[in-house]
Structure 1
Amino acid sequence: MKNLIESCYYFIAGHGRGWAFSSSDLLSRFSRQQADSLLSELVKQDKIRRVARGIYDYPAYSELLKKQLSPDMDQVANAYARKFNWRIAVSGETALYMLGLSTQVPASYVYLSDGPGRRYEVMGQVLEFRKIKLRDMGFKHRNSTLLVQALKALGKEHVTPEVITRIRTQLDPGHYERILRDTQSSTGWVHEAIRQICRPDGDG
């Protein structure tokens, strides 16, 4: 049993701090019964954390604050999506907060989904899934959806050079090319804004 616990822990830790998951993410390595038992044991050992019913995370830790951080709600949303085989996309207002364009912590983190409408409490925070049609979620990459949803929520008239610069600081330049390819079908002004955001080295 000890070897199984260590194997399970190393698999989880390999995804990095902040990763959220369910027992479904372990089924390529363990049986359902084993997965449930191993997760229960790792919670007891304080190596992982149960953040909602059936959802766990490998908590991020702040050396400055000397404590575990709150769950990464985007990670949790994606854990639910994998568990139930949903396609999801972050909503506009939530995207603005995640990109640092809104300082107000949302009352609930809202995601669009092709699954049923659901609300979950995650360690005092609310995660909500709203059902939409599949055709409204056509992007392959998380950052593509994040950008498009945030820009649409802002509106063309509010996409200033300062906003472009602020968004750019939140993105890995290594993702620029795939974001540009992924968003080619988006509304004209949205894709033009994304082209400005994803300029190499921020050059004009």
Structure 2
Amino acid sequence: MKTVISSVPDRILRRARGCGRGGVFTPSDFLDLAGRSAIDQALSRLIKRGRLRRLARGLYDFPKLHPKLGALSPSPDDVAQALARETGSHVQVAGTHAANALGLTSQVPARTSYLTDGPSRRVVLGRRVIDLRHASPKHLIAPGSAAGTVVQALRHLGPSRAGDVVQIASRQLSLSDKKRLVSTAIQAPAWMRPILRAIGDSPSDAAHG
């Protein structure tokens, strides 16, 4: 029986479909399929065919589709994670987005900020701006985890909202996240350490433990 060898565009599209609608990619996500020039050519063909969408330089997605609105914008978190994969770095939500993720504010900012140990980059998607800012290790505590989100939310809200952060985080974090919070508290500013330890020492919800 003759073996049919699929083309590079077909293999890329198959992988994108496997990740589901809304997936965000960079060429590096496909380098195991072919060389970089072949990947770039294949992505260009898929865009012309309307199978994938180019979001920005070196950034693509397999967009979710709305029956009336058409192709929807990707999740900022998915964009940030794709950029992090490309450089082998970590990202952590910061600022208002971190507080929003914990339910500590209902504000949804037009600019979504992330800290990263990789290169800084800004991606503009319509009216939304996604900012990755390079940060030193002392500002990037437990990146990519719920514990890290608590640290950034607390940094954004400040001591005056510490009680609210303790109340929410004590209820939402799993036991493993609380342990991570305690183990990394020493890296945080002095005013934040007792607050993080208080969250870490709080009883865990059985559903999260």
TM-score (norm. length: structure 1): 0.76
TM-score by length of 2: 0.74
How far the C-alpha of 1:48 sits from its partner, in A, is 2.1
Unaligned runs of 5+ in 2: 186-192
Query: Which position in structure 2 is the counterpart of 1:11?
Result: 15
Contact 2:121 2:131 in 1 (8 A): yes
How large is the RMSD of aligned CA atoms in angstroms?
3.3
Deviation, structure 1 residue 130:
2.3
Q: Structure 2 residue aligned with 1:199, among 189, 205, 209?
A: 205
User: Deviations 1:13-68 (Å, cap 9, x if unpaired)?
Assistant: 222332211001111222111211222222223232211111112223346x5633
Larger Rg: 2
1:19-58 matches, cutoff 5 A: 19-58=23-62
CA contact (8 A) 2:178 2:201 kept: yes
- The one-letter code matched in structure 2 to 1:144 is A
Write out aligned runs for 1:155-194 (5 A): 155=158, 157-158=160-161, 159-160=163-164, 164=168, 168=172, 176-184=174-182, 185-186=184-185, 187-193=193-199
Residue 78 of structure 1, aligned match among 72, 76, 81: 81
Closer, same or farther: CA 127–40 of 1 in aligned 2, 3 Å: same
- 1:51-104 CA distance string (max 9 Å, x none): 1111112223346x5633222111111222222343332213221233443333
Identity %: 30
In 1, Cα distance between equivalents of 2:16 and 2:79: 14
Residue 142 of structure 1 aligns with which residue?
A: 145
For structure 1, list consecutive stretches of 5 or more residues without a partner in the other structure: none
* Segment of structure 1 superposing worse, 80-89 or 51-60: 80-89
